[in-house]
Amino acid sequence: MDDIAFVALGSNLGDRRKHLSDALARIGRIPGVAIVAVTSPEETEPIGPVAQGPYLNQMVALRTSLSPPELLATLHEVEREGGRVRTVRWGPRTIDLDIVKYAHTTWSSAELQVPHREIDNRDFWQRELAELAEVSI
């Protein structure tokens, strides 16, 4: 059964708009995924203990037949293709993709929590989810 997944995109290195745009294009080519709606980019302050520049964030609603772990694996591949190197936790990155929630599915494992553990702590995610709620379901 298809579900709607809400995925957050963020970038704070290099050409942030291009990184977001390139990631959206790659996401749109994932088998079993269709982009339903995308929010406008929004600049936010970084979260965490590492000093770094501001992020450009946006969120996408995806109609998908992929389970949360399957979607996560494909999103990690999109990050790698976008030049993401995982070195410092909470550090700067070319592209960061987080599964924020699914409309009708929850998941809990050591690698993945859906809804995301930080969903209630990120105001910009709340704004983006509200924007997408009107068009995605």
Q: Would you list the DSSP string of 5-38? A: EEEEEEE-SSSHHHHHHHHHHHHHTSTTEEEEEE
Residue 84 annotated as catalytic:
yes
Q: What CATH number should be reported for the domain holding residue 47?
A: 3.30.70.560
Residue 80 annotated as catalytic:
no
Instruction: Give the confidence band of 109 by pLDDT, cuts at 50, 70, 90.
Output: very high
**Dihedrals phi, psi of 122, to nearest 5 degrees:** -120, 100
Percent of the chain with pLDDT over 90: 75
What is the Cα–Cα distance from 49 to 91, expressed in whole angstroms?
8
Q: What is the mean pLDDT of residues 85-103?
A: 83
Which is the catalytic residue, given 16, 26, 93, 122? 93
Which is the catalytic residue, given 16, 22, 26, 84? 84
**Chain mean pLDDT for the chain:** 90
Residue 22 annotated as catalytic:
no
Helix intervals (H) in 45-85: 68-81
Residue 111's domain spans which residues? 3-136
**Is 22's pLDDT higher than 90?**
yes
Which is the catalytic residue, given 15, 98, 117, 127? 98
- Domain count within the chain: 1
